[in-house]
Amino acid sequence: MYTICLVEDEEALSNIVKLYLEKAGYKVIVHKTGEEAISYIGKEVHLWILDIMLGDDISGYDIIKAIREKDDNVPVIFTSARDQEIDKIFGLELGSDDYITKPYSSKELVLRVNKIIKRVYKENKQNSIIYEDYTIDVEKRAVYIKNKNLKCTTLEFDLLCLFIQNKGKCFQREEILNSIWGEDYFGTDRAVDDLVRRLRKKLPKLKIESIYGYGYRLSWILKKII
């Protein structure tokens, strides 16, 4: 059973969301304050759902920063009444996987949770792939260079896999949005540009080409598949 931490200070909303997630087969831990949530970091959690604005002085942004100090791979969904694009981009920059604007449907939230859980934990991926000096262990969702683990967020790793498993293919931004975030994602293609920028910065040996007016392509030579 997958464990989800729901950080939400609106009790009525958290009760409804918890009920829907439990009906979908998840174990749900509810935290009403940022302090409670941060004290729980380090325990086994498969996904966090963070309200950005909480009742205490700790925000959802503070919580994800604390999560990322210990775990780059656990997926995070932000929820917020703030629907400005800059808020969504900032959330992605901090390593979130999705951003849902309040008020939202609990059914929609469950669908997004299911997609992320399937993408991160259930997809049957095998093989380690070597590109340049990088070793990408697809099954363990890890990237190494000279035995050093280069920590990637779930979205960064999924974009990397999309490129290396479709050698030489040029992807439109919309294709990347659909493949990484899902077809029901309502963000803009600026999220794709930001994710590519972060992946280039983290893995500078990646040769990600920008195709003007179209999208992106990875143009390096595969060395080895183990």
| pLDDT tens per residue across span 94-131 | 888 899 988 889 999 999 999 899 888 876 455 778 88
Q: Which residues are within 8 A (CB) of 107 and not within 5 positions of it... i.e. 6 or more apart?
A: 20
Nearest to 90 by CA among 118, 112, 59: 59
Tokens 């002085």 — which residue?
57
CB atoms within 10 A of CB 144: 16
Nearest to 62 by CA among 38, 95, 78: 38
Domains of the chain: 3-122 (3.40.50.2300), 128-225 (1.10.10.10)
Q: Output the six-digit token pair for 25.
A: 């087969």
pLDDT at 220 over 70: no
CA-based diameter of the chain, in Å? 54
pTM of the model: 0.68
What amino acid occupies position 178? N
| pLDDT tens per residue across span 137-181 | 887 888 999 888 898 988 999 999 999 888 788 999 989 988 888
- Tell me what the pLDDT averaged over the chain comes to: 87
